[in-house]
Amino acid sequence: MDCYVYILRSLSSGRYYIGQTGDLSDRLSRHNAGTEPATAPYIPWEMVWHNSKPSRKEAMELERKLKNLSRARLESFIKKYDGG
C-alpha cells in the first residue's frame, strides 16, 4: 500500500504541518474539521505538497527529514517540488 507524505499550510496563520497518511483526502478533511488537536487551532488548511512512498517506513523517514528543515528551507523545498 502506498503511503503519502504531505505538507499543509494554514490559511489563517501561515504555519506548516508535515505528516504522512494512507488517504490524503480523508486526512485533509480531518485536519479541516478540527478533529486533529495539533492542527485544530489553525484551520483552514491547504495541501501545498505531497508525494507517495511505497511503504510507511519510507514515508516516515521522509516526514522526519522534512520536519527537521528550517522554515526557509521547507519553503524552498515546496517551491522546487510544487505539486508533489
- List, run by run, the mean pLDDT of 10-residue segments along the chain (84 residues): 94 97 96 96 97 96 98 95 64
Element (H, E) at 55: none
Q: What is the pLDDT of residue 84?
A: 46
User: Which amino acid would we find at residue 42?
Assistant: Y
Q: How far is 19 from 64, CA to CA, in rounded Å?
A: 9
Element (H, E) at 56: helix 56-67
- Burial code (b: 16+ CB inside 10 Å, e: under 16) for 56-79 equals eeebeebbeebeeeeeeebeeebe
Q: What is the pLDDT of residue 1?
A: 73
Q: The pTM is what?
A: 0.93
Q: What is the pLDDT of residue 21?
A: 97
Q: What is the pLDDT of residue 68?
A: 98
